[in-house]
Structure 1
Amino acid sequence: MEPLLWLLLPVAAASGWFMASRKYTKSTSGFSVPKFSNSKYTKGSAKDSESSKSYANQCIQGLNYLLSEQSDKAIQLLVEMVDIDEDTVETHLVLGSLFRRRGEVDRAIRIHQNVIARPSLSVEQRNAAMLQLGIDYLKSGLLDRAEAILLQLADSGSGNPEVYRYLRNLYEQEKEWETAVKMAKLLQKSCKVPQHSRIAHYYCELVEQCVRSKKMDLANSTVKRALASDPECIRAHIQAGDISAAQGNGKAAIKHFRVALEKDRNFSPIVLKHLHDLFRKKDLLPQFPAFVHEYADYRHDAAARFFLIKTHLALGDTEEVDELLHEELSREEASPYIIKSYLEKMRDTTKGEIQASFEALGRVLDSRLSSNMACHCTHCGFESNTVFWQCPGCQSWGSVRPYQNPLEYTWLDA
């Protein structure tokens, strides 16, 4: 059942009563009405009374439809009850929005087009109706029509921040990032709502386009714009590190990754993976354990311990690996994935029934890990094993984060 219908039906009835009373007032203006007479006024009053009763009966019928959960009939009755004029525009705009939320975008478009066609609307009413029509087109995927209407409103100087917000979302949907940046800045200026983080992500999207096109100098200048917009943007710091590494500046890359690690420890699984790859490609892997001990929260970060084990395995430091694995087993909050590494090591160094037991334990742990997610959206709760910089669920930017102590790290190798 649509909650707004409980409000709209009384509004419709009140509008009908108001219009009837206006007609009555106009019909009697300029006349003195004698008391206790059977004049035309008395007959007119009876007619107006019948009209008011009709509206009241329609309202009661609409409420009955709502009580019996026949919302479609209630909406249709509401459409029939309210004629479009300057006094009922708001009701029709709400009604159109109601249809849009129900998924009946075509009906919403017709209602809003009918409102706009009225010549007696004020500028404010026409702008409000055009905005709703633009939203209808946006929801129905008619992006060109939505863009034309919204740009017309923006050029008219309507001063409505919602126009810039929907234009920003439209260009975001079309991946026109430079124009999306422009609209986000106009929105920020018009309503003082910070857009710095979102703008930084728009620049990061442009960085990815530059990297794919192998325009590394342009990527470097663009990532600087992202960091200028939001110095706390972890994504931009990681991109800056990757760009520096691609340009052969390993020292600058390590600095960017270190800053990212210090700014948000929750992203350590991602940052440490980039660092591990960089140290390996630069033949600096023997120095990586010292870096982890100095800059990572080794005692409380399972990702740091995981990459330490991975590094010592690559270097052939079996004693260090054994020590780290046994230390992990003694922790109250041991990482299941590191325990899995221990089981694999024991499986490979044993035989017979003992080896079979370790294999069985590994399968049980794999089954347990497969049902866990490493990341979640702090806005809507969406979960995945991949970090999305824009949440697929609620479309928020920068809200998907790794859990503080994720159970699973296999996604790091993706």
Structure 2
Amino acid sequence: MPLAAASGWFAAWRSYKRFNQINPRLAPEYFRGLNYLLNEQPDQALDVFLRLAEDDAKTVEIHFALGGLFRRRGEVERAIRVHQDLLARPLLSVLQRQTALLELGRDYMHAGLFDRAESIFQDLLKQRVRETDATKLLLEVYQRESDWDQAIQMAERLTSANDPEHAAILAHMYCERAEVWLRRGQPDKALQSISQALDTDARSVRATLLLGDTYFKNGDFEKSLRQYLRLFEQEEEFLPEVLPRILQCLQAGAPLQQFEKQMHRFNRDYRQSYFIRGYVHYLQQQEGLEAARNYLRAALTQQPSLYALQEWLDLEWAELIKGRDPDAQDPDLLPWRLMIDTLKRVMRNMPKYQCRHCGYAAKTLHWQCPGCKTWGKLKPLNLTQMDHLSS
């Protein structure tokens, strides 16, 4: 029996036992509905349960369970029918009616009918009932619609209501709005939104990166470097994101002296991380090719990894093709080209980020996890984690 069906059977059986105690006269009919449900005949089951609802007002809890079960199984139309039927019943208590409205709004959201869901949740807010639930659901609706101004309003309501987990989410909303302003070519408004993000969450990795990126695009490389160095010290997990940006700043003319001590310290402490790639480029720029090659030989000996191997092969290839045509069918180059191309294909398919909440793995950084939809939980993997996921 599939897991979903088994869990549905268990929930239904518990409801059956409660219902049998409440109304023995209708229990056989209810059991017939359960059989339909467990035999994958949901329409027949739904007809039975809705008829039972007309005969007994005590089946509300059962119908909430049934509607939730249909929605979890992806049968949203049936979930909508259950909750609409509940709302049509005149004897619902105030609390039951509010719950039915929230559940119907969730159904609409799962069906992609965001305007209907928004209307329900906004009505609940206007009535000042179930405000926290309605606000959280509206926040989800506006996120899915990328309506960041409205999402910010909802997140601000939750944050001001002493819901601390939403402070970090609110900072992401400001960052989303900042990125919209940047795409529209309005960096001043973007900087204002980034400032609001940092006022909300002073340790926001995303806002700090975005601030550095904005300064860089505006040609203010020293200010940009300052933001990246702040993250370099503060959020060690994001070194893979920060280091290439720092190197860009140095290439563009930002002062090097404030960075050298930090770079050598992180080389000492993070030899096993994805930091290796950035440090190799830094060594090439500052100390020359031979220093980079020596570093990679030591790294491969002490902590072998595909990333260190790829960097070493790239350096050796650059030396091999000096004075040669790399596209020629040179028999001395063919084995090297095969190794490098094969490794690049393998590396291209390796995830570089993983959600700390649900385990979702990705090749690119998402600030909102595509799997569990949580914010800020997708973080760079170190080399050991990458090799483990690729094996």
Q: Normalising TM by the smaller chain, what interval? A: 0.7 to 0.9
**Letter of the structure 2 residue corresponding to residue 7 of structure 1:** R
- Which one of 378, 381, 387 corresponds to residue 356 of structure 2? 378
Q: CA deviation at 1:256?
A: 0.8
Q: Tell me which residue corresponds to 2:196.
A: 225
Q: Shift in Å at residue 402 of structure 1?
A: 0.7
Q: Which residue of structure 2 aligns with residue 348 of structure 1?
A: 321
- 2:102 equivalent among 131, 137, 152: 131
The 5 A counterparts of 1:246-395 are 246-282=217-253, 290=260, 293-294=263-264, 296-301=266-271, 302-313=273-284, 317-334=288-305, 335-345=308-318, 347-348=320-321, 355-395=333-373
> What is aligned with 1:31?
none
How far apart, CA to CA, are the structure 2 residues paired with 1:328 and 1:342? 14
Contact 1:109 1:133 in 2 (8 A): yes
Using the alignment, how far apart are the partners of 1:74 and 1:180 within structure 2?
39
Moved more, 322-331 or 137-146: 322-331
TM-score (norm 1): 0.79
Aligned residue in 2 for 1:162 = 133
Is residue 2:63 matched to residue 1:109?
Answer: no
1:9 to 16, 32, 40: 16
Letter of the structure 2 residue corresponding to residue 9 of structure 1? Y
Of 144, 161, 166, which residue of structure 2 is paired with 1:195? 166
Coordinate RMSD, CA, aligned? 3.1
Aligned: 1:98 with 2:105: no
Letter of the 2:383 partner, please give it: N
After superposition, the Cα gap between the structure-2 partners of 1:406 and 1:390, relative to the gap in structure 1 and judged at 3 Å, is: farther
**2:208 aligns to what SS in structure 1?**
helix
The CA deviation string for residues 210-230 of structure 1, in whole angstroms up to 9 with x for no partner, is: 111221121112111111111
Contact 1:112–1:129, Cα closer than 8 Å, also in 2: yes
1:369 is matched by which residue type in structure 2? M
Return closer, same or farther for 1:322/1:287 CA change in 2, 3 Å cut-off: farther
Greater shift in the superposed pair: 213-222 or 178-187: 178-187
Distance in 2, matches of 1:211 and 1:60, equals 59
2:64 pairs with 1:57: no
1:403 corresponds to which residue?
381
Distance 1:232 1:191, change over 3 A: closer
- Kindly state the Cα deviation for residue 156 of structure 1 after the two structures are TM-superposed: 1.0
Q: Which runs of 5+ in 2 are unaligned?
A: 325-329, 387-391
Distance 1:86 1:297, change over 3 A: farther
Question: Alpha-carbon deviations, 1:367-412, whole Å to 9, x = none?
Answer: 543442211111121112211111111111111111123788xxxx
AA aligned to 1:120 is: L
Identity among equivalent positions (%) equals 27
Distance change (3 Å), C-alpha of 1:97 and 1:84: farther
CA contact (8 A) 1:272 1:303 kept: no
Report the Cα distance in structure 1 between the residues aligned to 2:375 and 2:346, rounded to whole angstroms: 30
Q: Over alpha carbons, which structure has the higher Rg?
A: 1
* Structure 1 spans left out of the alignment, 5+ residues: 18-51, 409-414
Change (3 A) 1:71 1:188: farther
Tell me if structure 2 keeps the 8 A contact 1:279–1:288. no
Please say if residues 99 and 107 of structure 1, whose CA atoms lie closer than 8 Å, have aligned partners that are also in contact: yes
Q: Which amino acid aligns with 1:186?
A: R
Correspondence list, 1:81-92, <5 A: 81-83=52-54, 86-92=57-63
Q: Does structure 1 conserve the Cα–Cα contact (< 8 Å) formed by 2:29 and 2:48?
A: yes
Partner of 1:43: none
TM-score (norm 2): 0.83
8 Å contact 1:12–1:78 — kept in the other structure?
no
1:183 matched residue in structure 2: 154
AA aligned to 2:245 is H
Supply the distance in 1 between the matched residues of 2:175 and 2:218 (Cα, whole angstroms). Answer: 18
- Partner letter of residue 144 of structure 2? Q
SS at structure 1 position matched to 2:251: helix
Work out the number of aligned pairs and report it: 371
| Cα distance in 2, alignment partners of residues 300 and 140 from structure 1 | 46
- Please name the residue that 2:389 is paired with: none
Give the conservation status (yes or no) of the 8 Å contact 1:196–1:229: yes
